[in-house]
């Protein structure tokens, strides 16, 4: 059962990485409109996590459902609200996305492990590191559109690597770290 969960989480993280590589690759080839790709990413991210929730439904762990809902809310927010009007709105939306994402991931780490375990400490440190990365990303969104696309692409790359790291870490340790 654990290997099935790992494979499904691994495939979900690979989809996030594929989207990041697609955005980074298309930026060098043609003009990429961030107004299209950012909501598209949020909706695909929501779909990935809703499928993961469907697979992990019997585990009674709802972080994938919450991440799916977060993706839908932020996807709709980027479609209907004009977050691309100024870089400040885009930076604020990325920081807000990361804050909610980090809180959901922290709740997942707290659900699976005791706060005294080393796994919880590793999860908290990596979430703080990812939040620091998102602050740096948000500060660099003040430049022109091509730089914004590169910055968002690398942000999504970091997101995919973190999801991949989390799946691999949970699979390799299997709760052995205390």
Range of the domain at 47: 2-173
Residue 82 within any structural domain of the chain: yes
Residue 60 within any structural domain of the chain: yes
Burial class (CB within 10 angstroms; exposed 0-12, middle 13-18, buried 19+) of 112? middle
What is the pLDDT, as a whole number, of residue 5?
74
Residue 142 within any structural domain of the chain: yes
What is the pLDDT, as a whole number, of residue 64?
83
Q: Give the dihedral of Cα atoms 111, 115, 121, 123; nearest 10 deg.
A: 10
Tell me the mean pLDDT in the region 87-100. Answer: 87
What is the pLDDT, as a whole number, of residue 46?
92
111 alpha-carbon distance from chain centroid: 19
Please state the pTM of the whole predicted model: 0.82
Residue 31 within any structural domain of the chain: yes
Residue 159 within any structural domain of the chain: yes
| Of 174 and 86, more confident | 86
What is the pLDDT, as a whole number, of residue 177?
46
Q: Could you tell me the CA-to-CA distances from 47 to 8, 24, 40, 90, 168 in Å, in that order?
A: 13, 21, 10, 22, 21
pLDDT band at residue 178, thresholds of 50, 70 and 90? very low
Read off the pLDDT of residues 10-43 as tens digits, 9 standing for 90 and up: 888 888 888 888 888 887 767 777 788 888 889 9
DSSP helix/strand/coil, 176: coil
Pick the closest to residue 40 from 29, 52, 26 (CA basis). Answer: 26
Number of domains in the chain: 1
Pick the closest to residue 35 from 148, 135, 124 (CA basis). Answer: 148
Residue 178 within any structural domain of the chain: no
Q: Which of 116-120, 151-155, 156-160, 166-170 has the lowest mean pLDDT?
A: 116-120
Mean of all residue pLDDT scores within the chain:
81
């Amino acid at each position: 059962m654990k290997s099935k969960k790992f494979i499904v989480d691994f495939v979900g993280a690979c989809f996030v990485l594929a989207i990041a590589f697609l955005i980074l690759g298309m930026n060098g080839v043609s003009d990429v409109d961030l107004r299209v790709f950012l909501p598209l990413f949020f909706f695909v991210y929501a779909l990935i996590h809703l499928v993961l929730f469907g697979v992990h439904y019997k585990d009674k762990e709802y972080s994938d459902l919450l991440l799916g809902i977060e993706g839908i809310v932020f996807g709709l927010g980027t479609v209907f609200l004009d977050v691309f009007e100024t870089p400040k709105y885009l930076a604020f939306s990325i920081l807000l996305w990361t804050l909610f994402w980090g809180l959901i991931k922290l709740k997942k780490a707290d659900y699976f492990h005791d706060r005294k375990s080393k796994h919880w400490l590793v999860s908290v440190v990596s979430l703080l590191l990812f939040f620091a990365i998102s602050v740096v990303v948000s500060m660099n969104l003040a430049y022109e559109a091509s730089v914004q696309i590169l910055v968002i692409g690398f942000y999504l790359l970091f997101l995919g690597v973190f999801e991949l790291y989390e799946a691999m870490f949970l699979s390799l340790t299997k709760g052995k770290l205390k």
